Amino acid sequence: MSSAAELPGSEAEPGNAADRPYLGGIPDATVARLPVYLRALYALAEHGVTTVASDELARSTGVNSAKLRKDLSHLGSYGIRGVGYDVEYLVYQVSRALGLTQRWPVVIVGAGNLGRALANYGGFLTRGFRIEAVLDSDPSLVGGNLGSMTVKHVDELESLVASSGIAIGVIAVPAGAAQATCDRLVAAGVTSILNFAPVVLNVPGGVDLRKVDLSIELQILAFHAQRRNAERFGQAADEAAVEA
């Protein structure tokens, strides 16, 4: 599979001048679509596809073709008329823009069901992230094996952030412990936080906080399923009325 990890300079640690991140101004809306393009490009590369037309990439990502071309132009990528984009090079360009051509050390706080599942997911490594440690406060979990890692006590958080240059903290603790965990990560110097706990967290300026909530995604799917059903049943009712 082609991935950021296999591309030139991809083993560089954060801050390595040999592989500077793309510094051009990219609109936030474009940044939000880049991971979607990257996922589609990975899928193409996995199937041995070497070039892709903008229309085809647009279709597979559900993005309007003109918008996609405009997005990619922000990365300095214009494709070749009649040929399209070189998949591997575009993976590199998108990865570079997202800062994924270097491996970001990540710490997961909470070694419960979710923390363990995340820690065991091998895909992060090829997507630019290295799980550096999984921490928990439960003495019965500390010292236990988790894949190739050992669960460490959360009291090691501060020293770990300092020694491993942790860039991203993942919060996978119960809601009641999430704000304190967040504060602790921030105080230790972590400026990018991904929160899974179902609670709104407060962070100071300069800290990027993102939240993942699968139940919200499911609720949106439920809304669309409900609308599709209503359209289907509405159509059937109309047809029945015409036949009657």
Cβ nearer to ligand NAI, comparing 87 with 154: 154
- Report in angstroms how near the CB of residue 88 gets to ligand NAI at its nearest: 33
Cβ nearer to ligand NAI, comparing 36 with 199: 199
Cβ nearer to ligand NAI, comparing 126 with 137: 137
From the list 79, 105, 110, 128, which residue makes contact with ligand NAI (rule: CB under 6 A)? Answer: 110
Q: Is 212 in the site for ligand NAI (CB under 6 A)?
A: yes
Q: Is 213 in the site for ligand NAI (CB under 6 A)?
A: yes
Joined tokens for residue 12: 């560089």
Q: Find the angle CA(148)-CA(149)-CA(150) to the nearest 5 degrees.
A: 135
- Main-chain phi, psi angles of 17, to 5 degrees: -65, -20
* 25: CB partners within 8 A, 6+ apart: 74
Q: Is 60 in the site for ligand NAI (CB under 6 A)?
A: no
Looking at residues 113 to 172 of the shown chain, list those that interact with ligand NAI (rule: CB under 6 A). 113-115, 135-138, 141, 154, 172
- Region of 237 (left: φ > 0; alpha: ψ -120 to 50; beta: rest) is alpha
Which residues in the chain belong to E strands, given as ranges? Answer: 51-52, 85-86, 104-109, 129-136, 145-146, 149-150, 152-153, 168-171, 192-195, 208-211
Cβ nearer to ligand NAI, comparing 35 with 198: 198
Alpha helices for 99-198 (secondary structure H): 113-120, 123-126, 157-164, 175-188
- Report in angstroms how near the CB of residue 182 gets to ligand NAI at its nearest: 10
What residues make contact with ligand NAI under the rule CB under 6 A? 109-115, 135-138, 141, 154, 172-175, 177, 181, 196-198, 212-214
